């Protein structure tokens, strides 16, 4: 309970301190699939966390009445998040594999295995309200699986298969990213492409290690089941790290883009300033001289010309 509340509070705090960056990201970018992935990852996970927190804070009687809807909502959010993360991995592979369709399809298929397993288990899941003991007025929310093998035999195998295939898809992503960005990331150049390569490589390694940690703890918790409740409860907080990493990845990319735009604007300003320094006011050409060697006064000549012209007009009148 305390670990779960702490993890949800950490997720909410991360969303609050990055809200201003999110507003800039949404206002300065055109609508695209990347923006859709960013928003879905951010707000589905936040909504799921709030539902989980609400289910732990509600009174027992109220929770029992709504546990079926809350459990279904939490499961549906988790399935949608796996779809969003599959698209996130596919976009990375598509960008760094040279638009290799085979690599993208393999990553998508492997990443969607958790969607299939969660959907299949949800179809065989039953939730009902049962009395805590016979002839008791206290009820509780009971959940189980209507499958022939025992859940203790099925869940560990399904969970292990799901975790291994998901880890394999992320391994493909990190290998493709590593091959494409390693040389560029270790360059001494300070261009935006080098900064981008370093960010993608760093975030990719952290994301892969996080997925490895999550899958390992979930596999162990599936094997332990109820033998170690503390470990199972602790493993529930790790999946909340994934939405934070995905959101941070896109926000950090936007920071690099904004820094590059600022650098280009500063370079343009400096170039204009240098051109202004080289510009000089050319002096007027010297006044022409008359036959006597005297400088001609333009104003005097114009005045005399107008005077003669006025005199001619007067005679004609």
Of 127, 147, 207, give the one whose Cα is nearest residue 172.
207
Whether pTM > 0.75 for this model: the answer is no
Contact 181, 197 (CB under 8 A): yes
* Of 34-43, 106-115, 270-279, 308-317, the least confident: 308-317
> Mean pLDDT: which of 89-98, 103-112, 144-153, 234-243 is highest?
103-112
Are 111 and 85 in contact by the 8 Å Cβ rule? The answer is yes
pLDDT of residue 315: 47
Angle between helices 33-57 and 60-96 (to 10 degrees): 160
Mean pLDDT of 70-79: 85
Q: What value does the mean pLDDT take over residues 180-208?
A: 76
Q: Is the pLDDT of residue 181 over 50?
A: yes
The domains located in the chain, with CATH, are 2-262 (1.20.1070)
Concatenated DSSP letters of 97-109:
TTS-HHHHHHHHH
The predicted structure's pLDDT at residue 68: 75
Question: How many other C-beta atoms are found inside a 10 Å radius of the C-beta of residue 35?
Answer: 14
- What average pLDDT does the chain have? 75
User: How confident is the model at residue 317, as a pLDDT?
Assistant: 43
The pLDDT score that the predictor gives to residue 109 is 92
Give residue 27's pLDDT band: very low, low, confident or very high (50, 70, 90): confident
pLDDT band at residue 316 under the 50/70/90 scheme: very low
């Amino acid at each position: 309970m305390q670990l779960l509340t702490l993890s949800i509070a950490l997720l909410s705090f991360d969303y609050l301190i990055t809200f201003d960056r999110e507003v800039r990201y949404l206002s300065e970018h055109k609508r695209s699939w990347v923006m859709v992935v960013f928003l879905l990852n951010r707000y589905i996970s936040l909504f799921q966390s709030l539902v989980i927190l609400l289910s732990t804070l509600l009174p027992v009687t109220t929770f029992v009445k709504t546990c079926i809807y809350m459990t279904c909502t939490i499961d549906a959010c988790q399935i949608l998040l796996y779809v969003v993360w599959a698209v996130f991995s596919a976009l990375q592979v598509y960008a760094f594999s040279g638009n290799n369709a085979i690599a993208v399809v393999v990553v998508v298929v492997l990443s969607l295995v958790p969607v299939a397993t969660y959907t299949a288990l949800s179809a065989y899941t039953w939730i009902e309200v049962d009395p805590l003991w016979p002839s008791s007025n206290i009820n509780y929310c009971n959940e189980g699986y209507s499958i022939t093998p025992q859940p203790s035999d099925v869940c560990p195998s399904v969970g292990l298969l799901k975790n291994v295939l998901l880890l394999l898809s992320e391994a493909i992503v990190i290998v493709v990213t590593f091959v494409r960005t390693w040389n560029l990331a270790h360059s001494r150049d300070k261009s935006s492409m080098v900064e981008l390569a370093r960010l993608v490589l760093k975030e990719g390694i952290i994301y892969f290690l996080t997925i490895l940690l999550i899958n390992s703890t979930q596999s162990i918790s599936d094997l332990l089941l109820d033998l170690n409740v503390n470990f199972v409860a602790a493993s529930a907080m790790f999946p909340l790290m994934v939405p934070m990493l995905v959101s941070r990845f896109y926000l950090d990319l936007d920071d690099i883009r904004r820094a590059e735009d600022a650098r280009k604007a500063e370079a343009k300003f400096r170039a204009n300033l240098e051109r202004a320094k080289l510009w000089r006011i050319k002096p007027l050409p010297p006044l022409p001289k008359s036959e006597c060697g005297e400088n001609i006064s333009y104003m005097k000549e114009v005045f005399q010309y107008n005077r003669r012209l006025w005199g001619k007009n007067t005679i004609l009148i």
